Structure 1
């Protein structure tokens, strides 16, 4: 974050290590990609690990944006190192109601895309514009890699406010992760 930004004033970090094999990451929460932090918390529930970074800056929040491949905050790296699978929640500018499914674990990507599609969510897999496949990407640092979800602007704006729909989204996503977790090949 650099020495010019202050924790609690400019940004907030939440690290919830629940000794799970799965960690949910939202590294662009708050004013950077609003809603990602809420979706990540709902997905993690009380049993999956959770890492959330939230920009509190009201002006130019993107100054705190780090790409996932350059994200090296110690709490995030520690959770990733202790995890088997990662799930990253991001936002993208595209309109509509789609989820672009990327990440370094191919079987996890497919299982998550299938589960979300079966639950009525529009998916794009593989995610061509934002593939999230770099080994340096935070979500790919757990033992068996991870899946990066890029939620469209409209979906990300609406999902946190629609409790039933958010619950359906999280249940489908968890089902996909659990299905792939039984066979987590990259």
Structure 2
């Protein structure tokens, strides 16, 4: 695996290194030892799948509040998404900034999102499935979020969402 630091501390783009032969290819997607050796210890406790049939589906921007904050490894296993991370850590030098990457079944990339960073994505292809590996496990009642179009972040989404939940649309402005 190759680990590339993004503009926000702790947000890491993870590329696989497939080994191929006449049968196709094989690649490791997550290995606690490799993540730790790269300086990003991560042992998933839970794996979840988000299925999104339509282009323009927006989910986010979500996070879990302390003391149940999560680390997420997000990968698009079918289709294509614009994946966004927003730094909500008050003591961080990149507080309030965002970074993004296109994740797709074709590029097999993943984004590692640390605690205190909100996450969301917009589908760019129909039938986009997003795999989440999460640590620690999800604790109901600690869900939180910030609005996807909050002017405090000025995220340059590639298109306006077509489908958005009432919950995601109703998050308040982030207190800058």
TM-score by length of 1: 0.27
Structure 1 or 2: more helix by fraction: 1
- Bigger radius of gyration: 2
Higher relative contact order (CA 8 A, sep 6+): 2
TM-score by length of 2: 0.28
Structure 1 or 2: more strand by fraction: 2
